[in-house]
Amino acid sequence: MSGKIEQPSVIQAHGSKPKLIEEYVGRVNSGTEGVSITRMRSPEGWAEPGQRPGFDEYTLVLEGTLSVSTEDGDYDIHPGEVFIADRGSWVRYSTPYPGGADYIAVCLPAFSPEHVHRDGVNGT
């Protein structure tokens, strides 16, 4: 479907504090299953459970710092930098620094709660 998307859908976030998730392209806002494009605004002190998603995720930080923990190490992602989380690898996102973070996440295929596989949820 070609066309203009005038506004995102707001998606409920998991984590320790309220986080704003605006889905522009994906299963909820555009009915797209192949890719999702969301803008995330996470406050200082936000953290979510670890996950082992069934999709690749590409995260571009626009403002602030996004902290990412993996089985291979911990990373701080700054404005203009990207973190790539491969499908099936364990990852945990947080924003512990002042000001939190504003970032874009692209998931292939599109994000879905059934495929995120969060720690302690759905038998994981």
Two tokens, residue 95: 């924003």
pLDDT above 70 (res 1)? no
Provide the pLDDT for residue 117: 80
Which domains does the chain show, CATH number per domain? 9-116 (2.60.120.10)
Question: Residue 115: is its pLDDT beyond 50?
Answer: yes
Q: What is the pLDDT of residue 123?
A: 42
Are the C-beta atoms of 76 and 66 separated by less than 8 Å? yes
Give the 3-state secondary structure of residue 119: coil
* Mean pLDDT, residues 30-46: 96
The percent of residues above 70 in pLDDT, for the chain, comes to: 96
Q: What is the pTM for the complete model shown?
A: 0.89
